[in-house]
């Protein structure tokens, strides 16, 4: 048996456009969960600890190579901390990932990459003007779940159900949603290859270059807690579109 369990998931449309592959790792002997997008592997990760404490961090290896002379290097590699939010007795929401369908892309480099023994869990993309929202929940062993945690009759479906070493159940759900206006506005204000903070929305963004897609992950926060938004920027000398 390996030292960890690893899941890979993402969104894919019929025209071969897709999101990044997201990787969720769970150590064999600990009830901690780690998340990253493959293009950001080795650079950015989200940690969800058994204690209920969570954080989004630049990895120590990547933090060391960032240029101290620029203002794009944060003062700490842990740039966001929060606690898992209990939404019902025994049911807690750790975070959400939102992937707008307008930000999908065809990435030949990844499509033609080496084979992996871990089969990705591909979710059918939402309509072009909507997005796919993943939500990561935990439930305690004695919590009775009839459909799925947090079910609000809005079409949530289960992607992953995993029993942690402490006997809590980890759930990854998905649904198709309209893009919240506040998130659409935030994306429109972002500038390529830079860190920007929008004070009224408490937004911090960190960008990762890609020769084909220029993918970016936006970390934002609303009444439901922390949400990671994956998007794509088409960059030209005159304009930017999302």
12-62 confidence digits (pLDDT tens): 998 888 998 899 999 999 999 999 988 666 678 899 999 999 998 887 777
| Residue 215: per-residue pLDDT | 67
- Per-domain residue ranges for the chain? 4-241
200-213 confidence digits (pLDDT tens): 333 344 434 443 44
Mean pLDDT of 230-238: 54
Cα R_g (the chain), whole angstroms = 18
> Are the beta carbons of 172 and 134 closer than 8 angstroms?
yes
156-200 confidence digits (pLDDT tens): 889 999 999 999 999 999 999 998 887 777 777 664 443 443 333
Average pLDDT, the chain: 77
The overall pTM is greater than 0.85: no
CA nearest to 79, candidates 109, 112, 49, 44: 44
What's the pLDDT band for 112 if we cut at 50, 70, 90? low
For residues 153 and 32, give the distance between their C-alpha atoms in angstroms, rounded to a whole number. Answer: 29
């Amino acid at each position: 048996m390996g030292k960890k369990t690893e899941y890979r998931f993402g969104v894919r449309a019929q025209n071969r456009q897709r999101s990044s592959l997201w990787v969720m790792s769970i150590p064999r002997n600990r009830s901690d969960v780690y998340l990253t997008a493959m293009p950001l592997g080795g650079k950015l990760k989200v940690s969800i600890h058994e204690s209920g404490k969570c954080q989004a961090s630049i990895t120590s290896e990547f933090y060391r190579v960032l240029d101290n002379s620029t203002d794009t290097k944060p003062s700490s590699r842990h740039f966001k901390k929060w606690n898992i939010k209990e939404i019902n007795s025994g049911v807690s929401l750790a975070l959400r990932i939102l992937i707008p369908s307008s930000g999908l892309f065809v990435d030949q480099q990844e499509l033609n990459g080496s084979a992996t023994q871990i089969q990705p869990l591909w979710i059918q993309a939402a309509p072009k003007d909507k997005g796919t929202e993943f939500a990561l929940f935990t439930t305690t062993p004695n919590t009775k779940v009839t459909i799925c945690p947090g079910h609000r009759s809005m079409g949530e479906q289960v992607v992953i159900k995993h029993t942690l070493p402490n006997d809590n159940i980890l759930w990854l759900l998905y649904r198709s949603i309209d893009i919240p206006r506040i998130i659409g506005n935030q994306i429109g204000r972002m500038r390529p290859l830079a860190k920007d903070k929008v004070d009224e929305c408490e937004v911090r963004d960190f960008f990762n270059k890609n020769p084909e897609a220029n993918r970016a992950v936006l970390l934002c926060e609303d009444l439901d807690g922390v949400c990671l938004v994956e998007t794509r920027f088409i960059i030209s000398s005159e304009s930017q579109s999302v």
